[in-house]
A and B are shown apart, each in its own frame.
Chain A
């Protein structure tokens, strides 16, 4: 049962900063979020990974209280009504938006004021943030005069200016160049070091792999995987790459059935029984091993396998439904 805590100052920090149980959200006949269970540990950097249209944004909007779910329960920093905790939450939506005529520091202060930060303090912090990140000259510039990347940074500062306990970022890296992506990663780590819980969505796996302690992979509105990055990578067996001087021989029978010929060699998942039987066959049959490597799969491989399988299942489900009279 998800509890409701109306005032943050008087309560003990919950173990999970964000929780959702059985969340369902449909738009017409389209089920964008389909029975999602999620629990983001307090203080963690948590990534929601999914292909485009997987339901990431709808899930975040539902968890934040921007939209209400059709079914299920949610809790944000221990409160069942997310807006009650709005002052302790920072949110960067996928579709960036700022008032074009507002000055950069005013925009940041305004976003802070929306979350309960006094305007004067917000202005002071905004100027410090902009100056501290080399954007001093942009302080008093209207948003319409800033580059897209700078405007995005201004909005990000608006998300953190009130020093929230939870920061939710929807596709925060999209639209940023490599340098700004790196800066954003650094900023996320800095916030996490201060004990802030970070929840972000992305379809770019590299960021999640570098930043996240835990991830959820969502596809077709459902969570297909939840756990650590390491757990996700462990979902796939290590990959073996083998090159031999001999092209054919009795040793070929020792290769697993899913072996693929690749770049003049062989590529296959590490067999359940380990590498030793294969090695023995290669040596006995004088295959002439040129190189042999056993690689742990990356998160990207795990993501493609998990989300891809889900997408394939979904497509199959759709085809079955269509085939029904």
Chain B
């Protein structure tokens, strides 16, 4: 067993240094920062867009006294509820008819209030009426009760935590971790698909296969790519954290996941490793069967679609903690890392994670073994029925 790991380490070291010491690795590191920069740029733009007032404008075609009362009521209510909570009001002429006003080119109001405060008439498209009817009723009622309307004072009773808010925050943390792990996995594990093509095209596979078990080749390649991915994640994560701090973010202000931040981050790393090695070993096994880069590229699409399905499954499970779907997502090896990290966000128990990690590791070993046997059978043209060697020691 030690020889297997030692050989795997030799392969991993070669692959790791070959990738990390190449010029393209700088592009690999900087590539994901581009969307972050663009995200910031678009984020600023988005802020500007959201600061632009997009509330609907309603024309007020009432008698001047009613119109003034309505505008005052609007002012009082928005002062309490926030400007975003009610539509904007704009005085409109009493004539022509609201229908004609709305049909006029250049009209900027979506609906017009006419009639009286006691019996307001709202004219507009049905969809806008549905949206604005309640607001207009509230405004009219407040305007009518202008003199008698007194807002009741609310006594504030503050608490440090709220179970509901905490549950919401933890759900959010679990979901965010799930998305991050999924995207990192899908972005990084895909590279493994073409990993053995170099050895096959350069005829190096013969030298490797004569010197070490093919299990060690597969394992070494996985280790190298995982290490390379972790270097990338450390770089991107560090950069993102630095930006967060530079933007005045307070790590202590973040809501804590159920298992606490240190354990959660540790589990996130482990589950990423598992998700990566599970998919990676599958990719390696499938990619190893391909003879050319073109074949690998053809295989890429169905595999990515399969990954998306698994993610949707795990994503659905987050909202249904304890349901059969969630338990199935935790057990199914390929969705297990995603489902389990979401669980770590919401539940404090640690033993399920130990079980899940062992379960996932066993599947990694199984997938590697099957991949190796298929590789020996179909690429090296060795051996008989491939499954017969499934549990044989990997010594060739």
| A binding-site residues for B, Cβ under 8 Å | 27, 61, 64-68, 70, 81-84, 86, 89, 91, 93, 95-102, 110-111, 113-116, 119, 155, 158
Contact = CB atoms under 8 A, between A and B. Distances in A.
Contact of B207 (A84, A97, A100): A97
A48 B384 CA distance: 26
B195 to A, nearest CB: 13
Name the 6 nearest CB pairs between A and B, nearest first. Answer: A97-B203, A83-B396, A67-B382, A114-B211, A97-B204, A93-B206
A93 B395 contact: no
B380 interface: yes
Contact of B206 (A65, A68, A95, A116): A95
B206 A70 contact: no
A82 B202 contact: no
Interface stretch (B6-14, B26-34, B120-128, B131-139): B6-14
Contacts of B212: 83, 86, 114
Interface string B4-45: 001100110110001000100000000000000000000000
Contacts of A64: 210
B381 A91 contact: no
B7 A114 contact: yes
Contacts of A115: 211
Given A70-B384, A84-B395, A101-B18, A96 B203 contact: yes
Nearest to B7: A114
Contact of A65 (B10, B198, B205, B210): B210
A102 B3 CA distance: 24
A91 B382 contact: no
A116 B6 contact: yes
A91 B383 contact: no
A91 B6 CA distance: 20
20 contacts: A27-B381, A66-B209, A67-B376, A68-B376, A83-B212, A83-B395, A89-B210, A91-B207, A91-B210, A91-B211, A95-B203, A97-B204, A97-B207, A99-B204, A102-B18, A110-B14, A114-B10, A114-B207, A114-B208, A119-B10
A85 to B, nearest CB: 10
Interface string B173-213: 00000000000000000000000001100111111111111
A192 B83 CA distance: 93
Interface string B198-237: 1100111111111111000000000000000000000000
Nearest to A158: B207
B385 to A, nearest CB: 12
Please report whether the interface of chain B is mostly helix, strand, loop or mixed according to DSSP: helix
A86 B206 contact: no
Contacts of A116: 3, 6
B383 to A, nearest CB: 5
Given A67-B380, A81-B396, A97-B202, 8 more contacts: A65-B396, A66-B380, A86-B212, A97-B205, A99-B18, A99-B202, A102-B14, A116-B3
Given A83-B396, A93-B210, A116-B6, A68 B383 contact: yes
A33 to B, nearest CB: 12
B202 A81 contact: no
Contacts of B376: 67-68
Q: Which one of A64, A81, A97, A158 has the greatest number of beta carbons of chain B within 10 Å?
A: A97
Nearest to B21: A101
A100 B199 CA distance: 11
A323 to B, nearest CB: 31
Contacts of B213: 83
Given A27-B381, A67-B380, A98 B204 contact: yes
Nearest to A6: B395
A114 B11 CA distance: 8
Contacts of A70: 384
B206 A97 contact: yes
Contacts of B199: 97
Contacts of B381: 27, 67
Nearest to A62: B382
A91 B210 CA distance: 7
Contacts of B209: 66
B243 to A, nearest CB: 35
A89 B209 CA distance: 13
A257 to B, nearest CB: 48
B10 A113 contact: yes
Which of B7, B208, B209, B211 has the largest count of A CB atoms less than 10 A from its CB?
B211
Nearest to A95: B203
Contacts of B204: 97-99
Given A68-B383, A95-B203, A97-B204, A86 B210 contact: yes
Contact of B211 (A67, A86, A100): A86
Contacts of A84: 395-396
Nearest to B203: A97
Nearest to B202: A97
A103 B6 CA distance: 22
Max count, chain B CB within 10 A of own CB: residue among A27, A65, A66, A100? A66
A113 to B, nearest CB: 5
Nearest to B382: A67
Contacts of B11: 114
Interface in B356-393: 376, 380-384
B208 to A, nearest CB: 7
A142 to B, nearest CB: 11
